[in-house]
A and B are shown apart, each in its own frame.
Chain A
C-alpha cells in the first residue's frame, strides 16, 4: 500500500475509514516511519481534544431557562405552576369534566325549569304579571319594567 494522503490519514485517526481499508492502512503504518509519525501526531491531537470536556454552565441554568420558557407561555405557565406533573393535570381535567357533567345532570332533575314563568313586573300601575317578553312589546316600550327574574336568557335567576 502506498503512503496515506492527508484525508486518508484523517479518516483513519477519526475512525471514519471502512474496516478493510483501515486494516491495510494499519499494516502500512507498521512499515512506514513517516506515516507512523504523522498518524501519531494527529492521534495525539485528537485524544487531547477528546479529553477536554465542555466548560460547564452554572447549575441554575436549566431552572432559569425553564422559568423563561414558562413566562413566554402565560396561560400554560399558570397551569404548570398549579399542576406541575402531567398525571396531576389529567386527573384535574377528569375531575373538572365530571363536575360539569354532574352539575348539568343535577340541574336537569332538580333545578328550575328552563321554561320561565311569566315574570312578575312592577310598574307604576297596580301589580300585574307581564306577558312573555316578545308579546305586546310595542305597547309596553315606555313602561318601567322591574322583575325578580332574568328576562334576558331565561336562566331562572
Chain B
C-alpha cells in the first residue's frame, strides 16, 4: 500500500474510532504501537516506563479522537498528542525543557574518539545494532527528527506540527542530527558497512 493510500486508510480508521468503534481503534493501535513507542523512546530515552507511556498516549488519543478533524494525517496528529504525553511525563520528573529545546543539542560535538571496528564485513543485524546504539547516543531532539524524517518520512511541515517547533528549526535540527549521526557512524563502523 503506498503512502497516500495508507494515510487515507489511517484517517478513515481514526474517524470510525472517533465514533466509539473499538475495533477500528484496535486496528490503529496495531499500526502505530511500535512507531509511537519508538517516538517516545526518542524523546524520553531508554526507560522502563516507555511502554506505560505508550499506553497512556493511546488512551489520550482515543479520548481526543472525536476532536480529530482529519485535516492533517492521523500520524502527525498522533505524534503531537504523544509529544504532549512525553512533556507531561518529563514535567513530573522536572526535566521538561531539556528535551525538545536548544539545550537538547548540546551533545552534538561530543563524538567518542574510538577506532572503527576491524575491516571485516559485519552482518546486517550487527550493523543495525550499532546504528541503533549510535542513534541512542544522540540528543532527544536529534533522535526525534531522525525518526520522523528518515523512518516515518514526514514532511518538514508535518514534523514542525508533530514537534511543535518552527519549520526553519526543523531543517536546522535535521541537518545537525544527520551530521552528528554521520560523525558517529564514521567512528563506529568500518567503511564497508556504512549503508
Question: B-contacting residues of A (Cβ < 8 Å)?
Answer: 6-7, 9-11, 13-14, 16, 41-42, 44-58, 61-62, 64-66, 68-70, 72, 76, 80, 85-86
B: residues with CB less than 8 A from A are 20-23, 25-26, 29-30, 33-35, 37-38, 41, 51, 54-55, 58-59, 62, 128, 131-132, 135, 146-147, 149-151, 155-156, 171-172, 174-175, 178-179, 181-182, 185-186, 194-195
Q: How far is the CA of A71 from the CA of B41 in the complex (A)?
A: 27
Find the A residue at minimum CB distance from B151: A50
Q: Which residues of B contact A61 (CB under 8 A)?
A: 29, 33, 51, 54-55
Q: Which residue of chain B has the shortest Cβ distance to A77 in the bound complex?
A: B22
Contact assessment for B33 and A69 in the assembled complex, using a CB-CB cutoff below 8 Å: no
A48-B59 in contact (CB<8A)? no
How many A-B pairs have beta carbons closer than 8 Å: the answer is 114
Instruction: List the 8 closest A-B pairs by CB distance, nearest first.
Output: A54-B38, A49-B150, A45-B182, A10-B175, A47-B195, A45-B181, A50-B150, A54-B34
| A46-B146, A49-B147, A62-B29 given; 13 more Cβ-contact pairs under 8 Å | A10-B174, A45-B179, A46-B178, A48-B194, A49-B150, A51-B128, A54-B34, A57-B33, A58-B51, A61-B55, A64-B55, A66-B29, A80-B22
What secondary structure prevails in chain B residues at the interface with A?
helix
Q: Chain B residues near A62 (CB, 8 Å)?
A: 26, 29-30, 33
- How far is it, in angstroms, between the C-alpha of A56 and the C-alpha of B29 when the chains are bound? 13
Query: With A and B bound together, what is the CA distance between A11 and B54 in angstroms?
Result: 31
Looking at A10, A42, A51, the one whose CB has the most chain B CB atoms below 10 A away is: A10
Contact check, B182 vs A55: say whether CB atoms are below 8 A apart: no
Contact between A14 and B33, CB atoms less than 8 A apart: no
User: Are A11 and B171 in contact (CB-based, < 8 A)?
Assistant: yes
Residue among A47, A48, A62, A65 with max Cβ neighbours from chain B (10 Å) = A48
**Contact indicator A55/B37 (Cβ below 8 Å):** yes
Contact call B151/A49, Cβ cutoff below 8 A? yes
Most A CB contacts (10 A, CB to CB) among B22, B146, B172 go to B22
